[in-house]
Amino acid sequence: MKNRNLVKDESLKRSHRKSILFNKREMQAIDHYCKRYKIKNKSKFMREIIISSILKKFDEDYPSLFEKKPTLFNQKLKRR
């Protein structure tokens, strides 16, 4: 194998730790899912699920040109 000179981006380094507590039933569901779909790295799996959920929500909340319901971006504020 060749040695690869990888350039590491410091901004992508994971340095912020968060802890999550699950109850027994939630943990059983996660374990069952990981076993069924052969997920070996639960940390990576949970990180991907959380980030994909956040990005999906951002995409849904993004203002569009023909938006019907008022949002902070398209509602007219009354000035006094």
pLDDT tens digits, 52-62 = 999 999 888 87
Does a structural domain hold residue 36? yes
Q: Cα separations (Å) of 10 from 6, 13, 15, 80?
A: 12, 5, 10, 48
Instruction: Please state the pTM of the whole predicted model.
Output: 0.62
If we measure between CA atoms, which residue out of 45, 15, 44 comes closest to residue 29? 45
In a domain, 70, yes or no: no
Into how many domains does the chain fold? 1
Eight-state DSSP code of residue 2: -
Q: pLDDT for 4-55, tens place per residue?
A: 667 778 888 889 999 999 999 999 999 999 999 999 999 999 999 999 999 9
Question: Whole domain around residue 55: which residue ranges?
Answer: 22-60
What is the predicted pLDDT for the residue at 59?
86
